[in-house]
C-alpha cells in the first residue's frame, strides 16, 4: 500500500550534506583560481591547522546538539582551562602534568554542564549561558586579566600546536584522530544509538531503557574535554594564554554544525557533516584573509555563505 521508497532516509542523509559539500568545493576551487598563495601546499596545511581548534569544539558540539541541546560555554571553558594550565606551568608544574590537568578540568567543567542540565533540570541554553559567564569570570579572576606568557620551551607543549608528523601539522593529526574516534562512537556503537534516540524522542528513549541523563552528561563531558584539548593546541601555538581567548568560539562551532546539516532540534545529523562545515569556515577565513578582505566584511560573507548552504539543504 505504501510506496515510499526504501532508500528514502539514506538519500535524505546524503542530500543533507550536499549543499555544504558543494559550497566547500566551490569555495575551495574559487579561492584556488583567484589566489596562487591559497592553493600552495603550505597554505592548505596551515588552513587545516587553523581548522583544528574549531574542529574539536564543533565535534563536541555535534554530540550535544544531536540531543537537542547546545553548549554555549565552550569558548569560556577553553579559556579557563588553558589559563589554569598556563598558571600551573608558570608556577613550575611539569608541563605534562599541567596539560593533563587542563584536560581533566575540561572533563569536570563539561560534566558540570551536563549535571546542571539533567539533575538541575535547566534548559541547555540557560545552563551553558550561566557557565559561559562564570567560566569567563573565573578566567579573569585567575589571570588577573593579564596574559600569561613565559611558558618555557617544553618539547611536548610546543609540539602539540607547532610540531609536525610526516610533514603534517600535529593539530591536524589530532583533529583527524579525534574525528575518526567520535565518528566511530556516534555511528557504530550502542552509545551512539542512545545519543540519536535521546535527541529523536527522549521520552520514548527513556521508556526503552535508555538512561538519557547519563547519555547527556557524557556528551557535555566530551564537549568540555574537546574544548580543553582545543585550548591546549592554542596554548602551544601562541606560547601564552590570553584571558580573552576563545571569545565567540561557540558561534563558529555551532555554525559548523548547522552547515553540516545537523538539526538543532536533535535526533538528526552526522558528524562528517560537521567536518565539512568546519572546513568551509576555515577555507572562508583563510581565503578571505589571503585576499586581504577586511575582517568586518569577512563576518558578513561568512554569514551569507552559511545562509546559502543551509537554505540549499532545506529543499529536500
Burial (CB count <10 Å: 0-12, 13-18, 19+), residue 228: buried
8 lies in the binding site for other proteins (CB under 8 A): yes
In a 3-state reduction of DSSP, which class is residue 165? strand
Looking up cell 542530500, which residue turns up?
Answer: 15
Distance between CA atoms of residues 68 and 60, nearest Å? 13
Applying CB under 8 A, which part among 55-63, 88-96, 170-178, 202-210 lies near other proteins? 202-210
- Element holding 302 (H helix, E strand): helix 295-314
> Residues touching other proteins: how many (CB under 8 A)?
32
Among 9, 92, 150, 155, binds other proteins (CB under 8 A): 9
DSSP state at residue 105: H
Asked if 207 interacts with other proteins (CB under 8 A), we say: yes
Least distance between other proteins and beta carbon 10 (Å): 7
Cell numbers 591547522: residue: 49
Binding marks (x or -) toward other proteins, 218..257, rule CB under 8 A? ----------------------------------------
Give yes or no for residue 302 binding other proteins (CB under 8 A): no
For cell 594550565, name the residue. 85
Smaller CB separation from other proteins, 15 or 101: 15
For position 3 contacting other proteins by CB under 8 A, the verdict is yes
Is residue 203 a contact point for other proteins (CB under 8 A)? Answer: yes
Give bridge partners of residue 168 from the DSSP assignment.
165
Residue 142 or 191: the one with the smaller Cβ distance to other proteins is: 191
- The three-class DSSP label of residue 115 is helix
- Please name which of 293, 299, 308 lies closest in space to residue 35, comparing C-alpha atoms: 293
Binders of other proteins among residues 261 to 290 (CB under 8 A) are 267-268
**Contacting range for other proteins; rule: CB under 8 A; set: 6-14, 215-223, 230-238, 247-255:** 6-14
- 216's grid cell: 547527556
C-alpha 118, offset from chain centre: 22
Which grid coordinates belong to 172?
591536524
d(CA 120, CA 88): 32
- Smallest distance from other proteins to CB 148, Å: 41
Query: Given candidates 70, 112, 197, 234, which one binds other proteins under the rule CB under 8 A?
Result: 197
Stretch binding other proteins (CB under 8 A), from 7-15, 115-123, 155-163, 244-252: 7-15
Contact residues for other proteins, defined by CB under 8 A: 1-10, 188-194, 196-197, 200-201, 203-211, 267-268
Amino acid at each position: 500500500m505504501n510506496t515510499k521508497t526504501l532508500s528514502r532516509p539514506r538519500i535524505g542523509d546524503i542530500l543533507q550534506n550536499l549543499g555544504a559539500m558543494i559550497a566547500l568545493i566551490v569555495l575551495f576551487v574559487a579561492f584556488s583560481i583567484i589566489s596562487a598563495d591559497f592553493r600552495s601546499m603550505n597554505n592548505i596545511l596551515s588552513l587545516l591547522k587553523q581548522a583544528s581548534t574549531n574542529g574539536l569544539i564543533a565535534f563536541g558540539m555535534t554530540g550535544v546538539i544531536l540531543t537537542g541541546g547546545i553548549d554555549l560555554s565552550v569558548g569560556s571553558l577553553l579559556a579557563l582551562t588553558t589559563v589554569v594550565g598556563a598558571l600551573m606551568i608558570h608556577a613550575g608544574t611539569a608541563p605534562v602534568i599541567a596539560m593533563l590537568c587542563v584536560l581533566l578540568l575540561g572533563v569536570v567543567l563539561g560534566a558540570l554542564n551536563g549535571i546542571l542540565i539533567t539533575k538541575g533540570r535547566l534548559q541547555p541554553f540557560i545552563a551553558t549561558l550561566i557557565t559561559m559567564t562564570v567560566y569567563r569570570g573565573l578566567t579573569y579572576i585567575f589571570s588577573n586579566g593579564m596574559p600569561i606568557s613565559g611558558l618555557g620551551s617544553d618539547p611536548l607543549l610546543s609540539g602539540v600546536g607547532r610540531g609536525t608528523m610526516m610533514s603534517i601539522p600535529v593539530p591536524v593529526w589530532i583533529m583527524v584522530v579525534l574525528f575518526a574516534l567520535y565518528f566511530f562512537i556516534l555511528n557504530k556503537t550502542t552509545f551512539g544509538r542512545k545519543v540519536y534516540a535521546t535527541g529523536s524522542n527522549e521520552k520514548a528513549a527513556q521508556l526503552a531503557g535508555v538512561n538519557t541523563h547519563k547519555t547527556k552528561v557524557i556528551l557535555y563531558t566530551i564537549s568540555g574535554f574537546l574544548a580543553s584539548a582545543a585550548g591546549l593546541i592554542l596554548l602551544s601555538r601562541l606560547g601564552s594564554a590570553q584571558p580573552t581567548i576563545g571569545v565567540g568560539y561557540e558561534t563558529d562551532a555551532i555554525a559548523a554544525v548547522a552547515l553540516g546539516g545537523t538539526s538543532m532540534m536533535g535526533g538528526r545529523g552526522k558528524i562528517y557533516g560537521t567536518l565539512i562545515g568546519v572546513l568551509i569556515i576555515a577555507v572562508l577565513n583563510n581565503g578571505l584573509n589571503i585576499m586581504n578582505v577586511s575582517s568586518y566584511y569577512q563576518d558578513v560573507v561568512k554569514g551569507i555563505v552559511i545562509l546559502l548552504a543551509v537554505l540549499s539543504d532545506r529543499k529536500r
